Amino acid sequence: MAEILLERARNGEWPIQYGQLSKLLEDKGHTVPAHSVEMDHLLADVSHQGSPNGTKAMLSAMVVLKERGEPGAGFYRLAREEFSRKGDNVTIWGEEMKLLARDFRQS
């Protein structure tokens, strides 16, 4: 998952829907249902790998719900509880998207 999200972040290919990510993982031989505890844990892991000290963007910010076009509740909980992000959901996600462009986008 980290490889997929990092490559997409660098190429500016975001957001990506949970179902699309699940399919890409399946294509690589990993079964991770889109809306599962496993997906939540892997997304948290990827965010921690990409920003061990919390100063870089959370890679999980680019993964969104098909219906709403924004991350699920688990992203916002992770952002507040483990990455000390402040503000309402719109503010948190907007700031993470700016950080994604700053930290990972290749020019």
Q: What is the full per-residue pLDDT of the chain (107 aa) written as tens digits?
A: 999 999 999 998 999 999 999 999 999 999 999 999 999 999 999 999 999 999 999 999 999 999 999 999 999 999 999 999 999 999 999 999 999 999 988 75
Sign of CA dihedral 91, 65, 74, 96: negative
Q: What is the pLDDT of residue 107?
A: 57
Closest CA to 47 of 85, 20, 12, 91: 85
Q: What is the pLDDT of residue 105?
A: 81
Quote the tokens at residue 6: 């990092």
Q: What single-letter amino acid sits at 100?
A: L
Tokens 């599962």 found at: 36
Q: What is the pLDDT of residue 75?
A: 97
pTM for the model: 0.93
Exposure letters 38-76 (e unless 16+ CB within 10 A, then b)? ebbebbbebbbebbeeeebbbbbbbbbbeeeeebbebbb
